[in-house]
Structure formats: C-alpha cells, structure tokens
C-alpha cells in the first residue's frame, strides 16, 4: 500500500518536473495582447426618443413632443377636465418658474384652482382629484423612465400625490440607460442636496396575489411626459 502511494507521488513529481522543463524552453515572440475594450456607442437623440416613447407607452404612460414651453402649457391646459380634476399643483422648479407655467395655466384654466408649491404648502387640504406638474432631471431611454430629483422646490410627494401627473422634460436629459444617469448624478453631486431620487416609469401599478392589477394606488393613475425641444 505504501509502495503504491510512493510510486504515485514519484510519478506526479516526474510529470510536473517535465512540464516545468518544457515551459522554460518556450520563447515569447510577442507581447500578450490587451483584452479588448467594449466601445459603447451613444445612440442619437431621435433614436433615444423613439425608444423612450415605446417603453413608456408599453406601461400605459404617454408622451407629447412640444417645440416650446408655451406649447407645453397649452397642451396641459387642453388635457385637464375641470369636472374631473378641479385642482392643479405646479412645482417651483426653476424650469417651470422661469417659464411661468403657473401663471399661464391660471390664465388658460380659470375654472380650476391653480396652486404653486412652496415650503409652507399644506397637503392636508388637497383632494385626491388633482393634477401635478413637475420637472424631470433625467430620462432613461431603455425603460421609458423619468428621473425626478427632489428639492425644496419640488418634493417627492408632488409626483405621487395627484391622480394625473405631467412631467416636463428636455431632450438633452435623455440617456441610453441607468448607468449613464448614475454617472451624471455622481458627477453633478446631485445626491448632496436631494432628499430622494425617484424613478418613475408610467402610472402606479399594483397587483395582488390573484394577479388583479390596480392603477393609482401608490402614485398617479395617468402619467404624461412632455418632451420640450
């Protein structure tokens, strides 16, 4: 038994010795090539818009392309039924404030109550039958997702409080995927001031164990992204 074990060890030693000796005879004729790097080709704007639109509509969201903020305001006014939604809340995001969304909507929709969010704003008196207008920070083409970075002017609750949500976005906010968005958030250090970052892909959808799908339980029933530019 011991002789068999010794023979096995001697054979292993002999084989390894021969391998080592032969490896020493090899000569490298060239440097080992580097591993190829995957090149990520950024798709064009129209391609990303098409993908974003397709994915958003797949989850019952919708999109409208506006040439200007003025056209966006008129579109919103035309989509609000005062009998169904008598209240409209507009965030104080610089894009919306700078383009007078609240003032313009007050002029166009005199039959509804238009309120502008501020720090003293109370959500207690806001009924569920309301509409919110917020501004996005980024858009993810591959999933049809709007990225909302919260701030003092636009808290997260504005995006989930109302039954109908209009998200104002810019073409330059589009990126192919989540990875590119995370890089932008990191590079811009947006996480330092934001209390939360919300990824919103279409209306709120909730299903129970019996696969009964209900919309609007944890967020808006209707989501419309208005792409300006």
SS3 state of residue 135: strand
What mean pLDDT do residues 150-163 have?
Answer: 87
HSE, CB side, 13 Å, CA atoms: give it for residue 174.
Answer: 25
* pLDDT for position 219: 76
Is residue 57 within 8 A of residue 149, CB to CB? The reply is: no
**Hey, what's the torsion of the CAs at 139, 143, 146, 151, to 10 degrees?**
-100
Q: How many CB atoms lie within 10 A of CB 202?
A: 23
Domains and CATH numbers, the chain: 45-228 (3.40.50.10420)
pLDDT tens digits for 207-217? 767 777 776 66
Question: Mean pLDDT of all residues in the chain?
Answer: 83
Q: Residue 100: which of 136, 62, 68, 147 has the closest Cα?
A: 68
* pLDDT for position 37: 44
Is residue 62 within 8 A of residue 224, CB to CB? The reply is: yes
Q: What global pTM score does this model have? A: 0.77
What mean pLDDT do residues 177-189 have?
Answer: 87
């Amino acid at each position: 038994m011991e002789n068999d074990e010794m023979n096995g060890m001697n054979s292993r030693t002999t084989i390894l010795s021969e391998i080592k000796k032969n490896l020493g005879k090899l000569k490298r004729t060239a440097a080992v090539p580097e591993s190829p790097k995957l090149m990520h080709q950024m798709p064009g704007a129209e391609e990303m818009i098409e993908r974003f639109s397709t994915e958003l509509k797949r989850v019952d969201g919708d999109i409208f392309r506006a040439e200007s903020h003025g056209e966006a305001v008129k579109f919103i006014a035309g989509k609000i039924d005062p009998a169904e939604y008598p209240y409209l809340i507009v965030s104080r995001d610089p894009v919306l404030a700078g383009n007078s969304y609240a003032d313009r909507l007050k002029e166009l929709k005199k039959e509804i109550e238009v309120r502008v969010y501020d720090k003293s704003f109370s959500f207690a008196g806001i009924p569920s039958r309301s509409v919110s207008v917020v501004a996005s920070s980024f858009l993810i083409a591959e999933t049809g997702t709007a990225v909302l970075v919260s701030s003092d002017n636009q808290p997260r609750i504005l995006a989930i409080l109302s039954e109908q949500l209009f998200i104002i976005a810019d073409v330059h906010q589009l990126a192919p995927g989540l990875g590119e968005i995370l890089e932008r958030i990191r590079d811009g250090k947006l996480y330092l001031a934001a209390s939360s970052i919300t990824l919103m892909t279409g209306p709120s959808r909730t299903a129970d164990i019996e696969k009964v799908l209900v919309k609007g339980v944890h967020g808006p029933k209707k989501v419309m992204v208005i792409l300006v530019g």
